[in-house]
Chain A
């Protein structure tokens, strides 16, 4: 009786099981710059058309889809996973949603969230006389 392992030799290293895709929180820099809040997020591998930025009930949310990048060959070293990016920020209601801008370049997403003009301090002219 031939043992199954002899009859069916392995054709090389067993292929790695595909890793389940996780969702990651991107690293961010958040600056309150007075007239606006600036959010800069690292989203390598995401393309502009896969990015969704929304502002609702004072919360700014970002969701960047990252297409799978399957490298050929067998894994030698695996230090990070590839997946979509999601993060939300509670900013409050002082912001003008219609003037929010976002742009993506070199895998970095920059979001400008301007404050509503009505909440910014206004300089009052004092007339003499």
Chain B
């Protein structure tokens, strides 16, 4: 892109600066539905769900969350993932040089912060008392054993 010469403002440069300012304010705005700065995700967190003969396994990526900040609830065949992700605020720049007034500039703010809630309907009813969840390296794995009535039931065929 052509850079502007001193003393002559190219109209496209002004347009680009306006757009940068616009996106900048949008990124700094409070999240609209929990995770405003993630334009690609329609629901957060994204999940992968698998089913075995006796369990349903839900995996989600939740980096930056520690288990205390995560709330998982199961009712029948509905799983609810709820939590809040803290962000790094610009007011407390991590390494301030005491002598120099910290002039903090955010060049990218792609990691959303704030509250999220995702409701998921599982393929079958699960036994909520036996659900196990693990959060390792930011990956959540929820293993939901199927409710006894949802397990495959072998039927004896009588010959008479």
Smallest CB-CB separation from A46: which chain B residue? B137
Q: How far is the CB of B138 from chain A (nearest CB, A)?
A: 2
Of B55, B96, B97, B139, the residue contacting A120 (CB under 8 A) is: B97
Asked if A76 contacts B95 (CB within 8 A), the reply is no
Q: Please name all residues of chain B whose beta carbon is closer than 8 Å to the beta carbon of A122 when the two chains form the complex.
A: 99
Smallest CB-CB separation from B48: which chain A residue? A78
In the assembled complex, the Cα of A44 lies from the Cα of B135 at a distance in Å of: 10
Smallest CB-CB separation from B120: which chain A residue? A77
Contacts A40-B111, A76-B56, A76-B123 given; does A31 touch B104 at CB 8 Å: yes
Total cross-chain contacts (CB, 8 A): 137
Q: How many residues belonging to B are interface residues under a CB distance threshold of 8 Å?
A: 45
CB-CB contacts below 8 Å: A112-129 with B: 112, 114, 120-123
In the assembled complex, the Cα of A78 lies from the Cα of B106 at a distance in Å of: 33
Contacts A35-B97, A73-B57, A79-B47 given; does A27 touch B52 at CB 8 Å: no
Asked if A71 contacts B104 (CB within 8 A), the reply is no
Of A34, A38, A45, A78, the residue contacting B97 (CB under 8 A) is: A34
Q: For A72, A78, A106, which residue has the most chain B Cβ atoms within 10 angstroms?
A: A106
Asked if A31 contacts B93 (CB within 8 A), the reply is yes
Q: How far is the CB of B121 from chain A (nearest CB, A)?
A: 10
B110 part of interface (Cβ distance < 8 Å) = yes
Q: Please name all residues of chain A whose beta carbon is closer than 8 Å to the beta carbon of B88 when the two chains form the complex.
A: 29, 31, 38, 40
Asked if B94 contacts A38 (CB within 8 A), the reply is yes
Q: How far is the CB of B94 from chain A (nearest CB, A)?
A: 6
Q: For B38, B48, B103, which residue has the most chain A Cβ atoms within 10 angstroms?
A: B48
20 A-B residue contacts at CB 8 Å? A31-B105, A34-B93, A35-B95, A35-B96, A35-B97, A35-B100, A36-B94, A38-B93, A44-B61, A46-B137, A69-B139, A73-B52, A74-B51, A76-B49, A76-B50, A78-B49, A79-B48, A106-B63, A106-B66, A107-B138
Q: List residues of chain A with CB under 8 Å of any chain B CB.
A: 27-36, 38, 40, 42-47, 69, 71-80, 106-108, 112, 114, 120-123
